[in-house]
Structure 1
Amino acid sequence: MSLPPGFIDELRDRVSLAQVIGRKLTWDRKSNAARGDYWAPCPFHQEKSASFHVDDARGYYYCFGCHAKGDVVTFLRETENLGFMEAVERLAGIAGMTMPARDPEAAKRAEKRNGLVEAMEAAVQFYRMNLHGARAIEARSYLDRRGLTAGTQTRFDLGYAPDSRTALIEHLKGKGFAVEKIVEAGLAGVPREGGAPYDRFRGRIMFPIRDAQGRAIAFGARALGPGQEPKYLNSPETPLFDKGRGLYNIGPARAAAGKAGTILVVEGYMDVIALAQAGFENAVAPLGTAITETQLRTFWRMTPEPLVMLDGDAAGLRAGQRLIDLALPLLGGGQSLRFVILPPGQDPDDVLRDGGAAAMTALIGASRPLLDLLWSRETEGAVLDSPERRAALDARLRAHLGRIADPGLRAHYEAEIRTRRAELFAPRRDGAAAGRRTGGTRKAAPPRRGRAPAGGPVASTRASLLARGEAAIAEARVRESAILYGCLNHPEIALAQEERLGRADFHCADLAEIRDALLSALLSILNGESRAESVATLVARRLGRDVLADLDCLGQVRANPHLRADADPEKAALAVEEELIRQAALTGWLAETRDAAAGLSRDTVDWIGPRLRRAAEAAHEAGIRPLAGENADLGIEREEFASTLASVEEQQRAHRNRKRKS
């Protein structure tokens, strides 16, 4: 929605910045109200001194500590997690200004909504009044048993719907509301066979549901009698209420999320209220449905990593898995989910009653990332003792990861899955099959004939292999730096090689970080978010340092003329592609070498020879040699590697001779 020229300026003129901020802060005594000069401790970072300054005449604030700055719209957006138009609408209400309507039809709809909101607010007051009446003894007793204080009940506007067919209808009619509007607001129903409308909620505890602006838009109602069904009843969908979009406690939780740094997503109203009473004011709950994509995006507008609380039973974990399936295609850098697993059979209220806020804080601190639950779903309790079963696991994991749209994030997931898979399938020293989940213990098996003796020549061979691996890591740093240097100087190459960059195994953590920032920068440009800035500038801003200057310090990289910014684009593309190919081959060599080195301490000699040959082939394919312009040889010493291979092959021949003689 576009605003007419001058609307924002008039809004700033009408609303006092000091008045808006003063609702949230206590001004320091050095403030001078007559001059419009105000000071206070900053609301954006923890401090005791008053370094937050407000110039009310100019409508501008600035913190000399954390450098937060802005106007009244910015302040409202930052402190209450509002979107721009939401902040403008809120301020327009304070200023007594009417938001411009999109069109006449929109104006009619807005007027209609306002009328329905008025009916809903009148119903809130009616239910609140009845909670303190003689007919609400059972309702008050239930709330007392749940430990809700009078202050909490007032804060959440809890009420009681009397067990009467038309009590609310008659009350609202007396307030001037037409029956048609009462029905349209979802407060009354009409019999299918026709007849007089009736109160939708009767004999129930009432929970008002409000939108982000604090307007009552619906109700949730809990049954009290043993025969009442369903136990929880929500308002039907109305012009005000969409179950798939709304969230219980969205307004207060959004405001609290700024300080808490996240939000808690729980199952129901009582969970939210119990948490708020214990000091966790940043909780929301969906409204009788599974979490929708719209609600998920709402979470992410409030915080990059919402915490989803799950019951520890099978049903709760299944709900978490369904949410993971919904979230995977939407994940991005800095946009994910974490899960808080409650003890089996307990809800948040039980945890708080048994252990207090400290127990809940401990559970939140032990939250698990999304990948943990995804991995658990595919591996816990699984018997993966055959190639076919392992291949099926790989296929399922690939399918999950293939749904992640962000290439940089997908690459990180793939790397983590590879690590976990390697640990899962690593041969165990107790002789148990990899991937098989078995209990109990085993006696150590006696050494089999043909197994290399511990402490013999094989141990020195293994050490030699590991030393070669360290040299290859140094080689990897040069190659990975060259790839990044070329891509940053020629972003079109990075775009063309995006898929390979995302899947490449970067062995140096600092360079992998640059690679991920590079992919994220490309995505920002493709989405039209940062077209005015270069890729190198975006990467530097994300990482807080000049990465091109860092890479330029490496002599082997700087000396390659085809990687520089002024190089011919075609030659630069060929140079980067060549380094990507060699880097992939080097990755294969490292993997084969590590496996062979590890195998020398546990496997038969027969198995090692082929692995070393494959390692040698991978090294040859990688063409391990210095980059152009450098004389230092960072590659492996082929003569020593050949000697290692010959030594192992000699052991193989001796082993076969012993077998023939026996």
Structure 2
Amino acid sequence: MSLPPGFLDELRNRVSLSAVVGRKVTWDMRKSNMAKGDWWAPCPFHQEKSASFHVDDRKGFYYCFGCHAKGDALSFVKDSENLSFIEAVAVLAAEAGMQMPDRDPRAAEKADRRTELIQVLEEAVKWFRLQLKTQGAAAARGYLTKRGLSEEAQERWEIGFAPDQRQALIQALTGKGIAADLVVEAGLAARADDGSLYDRFRGRIIFPIRDGRGRAISFGGRAMDPNARAKYLNGPETGIFDKGRNLFNHGPAREAAGKGQRLVVAEGYMDVIALSEAGFRAAVAPLGTAVTEDQLRLMWRIADEPVIALDGDAAGIRAALRVVDLALPLLEAGKGLRFALLPEGMDPDDLIRARGREAMQEVLDGAQPMVRLLWNRETEGRVFDSPERKAALDKTLRQALMRIADPSIRAHYGEEIRELRWELFRTGRRPARAGAARVWQPGGRGKFAPPPVPTEGTRNSALAGAAPETIGDALREAVILATLLRFPTLIATFESALERIEFSTEDHERLRNLVLTHGHGEDCAELVARDSALALDRVLNNPHVRISPALQPRADATFAAACLEEALARLQADRAHRTELAEAEEDLAHLADEGLTWRLSKAAEARVSASRGPKEQKSESIIAPNGVELDREELDRARRLLDSIDFSRGSSPRRE
């Protein structure tokens, strides 16, 4: 029924939330503050001893820090007393002394029709249950016993049987005065081409399907005949049943999840029953279809991270991957999925009967995050032995990540994919992760160390996390990032080079991931700023970055591309030079080799060549015998190393 404008607001103003909730809970007076309208109690929606249920009387809202139940007075009455919304409104209106508005005749008629259909289905539940106890259901009882279901379990799940007769259910229900049209509308019967009616479920074990409030809304049936056209058959969609918006075992699973159990999503009725009977009571299943968007949102209302435990065969894997594609655009902070990989050819029911509850628990404990399944789908069984194949993998993964709407989640997925990519290809050093900047230690063979604590004056600098030896690197990194953000059309050109850089600060690492994640659109800088404004400000406000030629007002994309080429070349040469010197120090400690002279001179030659423009001359340099201009400081360091060696005896260099 429709309510007049302002009716609900007036109702909420007239009732006290603490008074409404107080009928169901015992307040913890040590934790509550009545003067401020701050009330605490054990949650009425799940079993607990601590007072984690909070009521803010002034704002009119409640929240449980255990099961995350939340709402106002109306939702509390609705959920705690298992009422419909209008029924909850009527209860509170009577308490507040407000007259309920007249019901819309059409809405009232529709609600009454739904109530009639539910009553018809409840009668069918009773009839199916009785049929399971008859002589004609002996084979069905034997099958259930073979599947490990005791009579008590069959009673708990209200399992029934539909005899293989054309009109047995129709005659039973119409004999109780139920109109034949209601039986058809409830999905229990269908009309043949000649207009006659026949039972929809025949020769099948019957599983009642109930909604979140425990009301019967449809049935599912498993055929006893192995040659039946469909092994499992669900009722058709009706005025009270939408198979894409409901879950099997929804109500009990929600209650169990509220008490702390892990929500497990299986494939069929028997899997859910087997899981629940083994102690995994927060188990649900879709209703004969692939998981839908509405069902996924319904799962997230029950638990933040459901575990998808589909069959371990090829069909189960395909179903899991379809769930991945469905979930990517819907991901939110704190809402995710994990995937339990069952042994090949087994479903949860098979695993529990064959190996026991502990085996299923082990599988659930080893459930993988969704990013791993996404990675496995694109890499398992494939060989990446060429740049083209690696580039194709990068493109596919990037397209998948771009489907994630939440920018923060997209960035974290990008970091995880980069880590997995490094583990697969093992090229270069391991990429740095956010929160643990990796810095170069001379002579350390690329070992990682914690970033230095910033001193006063560098605390807000983008270089605060860089080692002293890499300040120049960090400046070039900042210029590269700032240039790409000003000219996002260049990201595609320099994408591969950008992925290979091992950034020297956490800020630069985070910004690089965001630049790659947000793509090449004109709004790239805006999206990066929204995700990591502080890191971006530290880069752009650096005076060395502001005076960079590529960032001046008159610079265009062509000039910026040339600047990026030069900056990348210098960065690569400087790092290669330091690496060569560090490795030479270690080599000299073990073996004297005159070839080291050539290695060091070539490293210095490459560095000077990259760091000097065509018209640029360095004052602190000398000319080597071969005509190459060398940096004096680096050459002096190399000479000191070489002078300390007695080549005739092969002694180690003296330590300075």
State the TM-score, normalized to the length of structure 1. 0.64
Q: Is the 8 A contact 1:481 1:551 kept in 2?
A: no
Q: Which residue of 1 aligns with 2:132?
A: 131
Secondary structure in 2 matching 1:260:
coil
Q: Is the 8 A contact 1:12 1:72 kept in 2?
A: no
For structure 2, which runs of at least 5 residues remain unmatched after alignment?
Answer: 31-37, 429-440, 450-464, 518-522, 556-561, 585-594, 614-630, 642-656
Q: Percent identity?
A: 46
Secondary structure in 2 matching 1:403:
coil
Q: Is the 8 A contact 1:465 1:593 kept in 2?
A: no
Correspondences of 1:549-564 after superposition (within 5 Å): none
What is the deviation of 1:251? 2.2
2: CA distance between counterparts of 1:64 and 1:333? Answer: 17
What is the deviation of 1:127? 1.4
Change (3 A) 1:476 1:216: farther
Correspondences of 1:421-570 after superposition (within 5 Å): 421-426=421-426, 470-471=467-468
Q: Is the 8 A contact 1:265 1:306 kept in 2?
A: yes
What is the deviation of 1:366? 0.8
Q: Which residue of 1 aligns with 2:241?
A: 241
1: CA distance between counterparts of 2:572 and 2:86? Answer: 59
What is the deviation of 1:290? 1.1
Q: Which residue of 2 aligns with 1:189?
A: 190
Q: Which residue of 2 aligns with 1:303?
A: 303
* Cα deviation 1:222-277 (Å, max 9, x = unaligned): 11233433211111122222222221112222233333365211100111111112
Q: Which residue of 1 aligns with 2:224?
A: 224
Q: Is the 8 A contact 2:17 2:55 kept in 1?
A: no
What is the deviation of 1:59? 9.3
2: CA distance between counterparts of 1:290 and 1:260? Answer: 27
Q: Which residue of 1 aligns with 2:214?
A: 214
* Cα deviation 1:585-639 (Å, max 9, x = unaligned): 989977777778779979x999999999998899899xxxxxxxxxxxxxxxx87
1: CA distance between counterparts of 2:509 and 2:46? Answer: 31
What is the deviation of 1:155? 3.0
Q: Which residue of 2 aligns with 1:394?
A: 394
Correspondences of 1:85-234 after superposition (within 5 Å): 88=85, 91-92=88-89, 105-192=106-193, 194-234=194-234
Change (3 A) 1:8 1:343: farther
Q: Which residue of 2 aligns with 1:635?
A: none
* Cα deviation 1:453-491 (Å, max 9, x = unaligned): xxxxxx98785999998446778889999999x9xxxxx
Correspondences of 1:580-659 after superposition (within 5 Å): none
1: CA distance between counterparts of 2:199 and 2:307? Answer: 37
Q: Which residue of 2 aligns with 1:373?
A: 373
What is the deviation of 1:134? 3.5
Partner amino acid for 1:128? Answer: R
Partner amino acid for 1:370? Answer: M
Cα RMSD after superposing both structures:
6.0
* Cα deviation 1:514-534 (Å, max 9, x = unaligned): 9999xx9xxxxx9xxxxxxxx
Secondary structure in 1 matching 2:308:
strand
1: CA distance between counterparts of 2:233 and 2:66? Answer: 49
1: CA distance between counterparts of 2:231 and 2:66? Answer: 52
Q: Which residue of 1 aligns with 2:330?
A: 330
Change (3 A) 1:464 1:12: closer
Partner amino acid for 2:133? Answer: H
Q: Is the 8 A contact 1:79 1:255 kept in 2?
A: no
Q: Is the 8 A contact 1:461 1:644 kept in 2?
A: no
* Cα deviation 1:169-216 (Å, max 9, x = unaligned): 122213332111211111001112x14201111222111112223222
What is the deviation of 1:293? 2.1
Q: Is the 8 A contact 2:12 2:73 kept in 1?
A: no
Change (3 A) 1:598 1:104: farther
Q: Which structure features the higher share of helix residues?
A: 1
Q: Is the 8 A contact 1:131 1:159 kept in 2?
A: yes
What is the deviation of 1:308? 0.8
Aligned residue pairs total 551
Q: Is the 8 A contact 1:265 1:285 kept in 2?
A: yes
Partner amino acid for 1:322? Answer: R
Change (3 A) 1:510 1:139: farther
Q: Is the 8 A contact 2:305 2:335 kept in 1?
A: yes
Secondary structure in 2 matching 1:341:
coil
2: CA distance between counterparts of 1:608 and 1:245? Answer: 69
Q: Is the 8 A contact 2:407 2:531 kept in 1?
A: no
Structure with higher RCO (Cα < 8 A, 6+ apart): 1
2: CA distance between counterparts of 1:289 and 1:253? Answer: 19
2: CA distance between counterparts of 1:343 and 1:29? Answer: 52
Secondary structure in 2 matching 1:310:
coil
Change (3 A) 1:363 1:588: farther
2: CA distance between counterparts of 1:90 and 1:338? Answer: 38
Q: Which residue of 2 aligns with 1:382?
A: 382
Change (3 A) 1:619 1:376: farther
Partner amino acid for 1:91? Answer: A
2: CA distance between counterparts of 1:105 and 1:620? Answer: 84
State the TM-score, normalized to the length of structure 2. 0.64
* Cα deviation 1:534-566 (Å, max 9, x = unaligned): x99x999xxxxxx98x999x9x99997999xxx
- Which region of structure 1 is more displaced relative to structure 2, 233-242 or 13-22? 13-22
Correspondences of 1:240-259 after superposition (within 5 Å): 240-259=240-259
1: CA distance between counterparts of 2:290 and 2:3? Answer: 34
What is the deviation of 1:389? 2.2
What is the deviation of 1:364? 1.4
1: CA distance between counterparts of 2:4 and 2:284? Answer: 31
2: CA distance between counterparts of 1:186 and 1:169? Answer: 11
Secondary structure in 1 matching 2:411:
helix
Q: Which residue of 2 aligns with 1:412?
A: 412
Secondary structure in 1 matching 2:205:
strand
2: CA distance between counterparts of 1:315 and 1:158? Answer: 27
Secondary structure in 1 matching 2:340:
strand
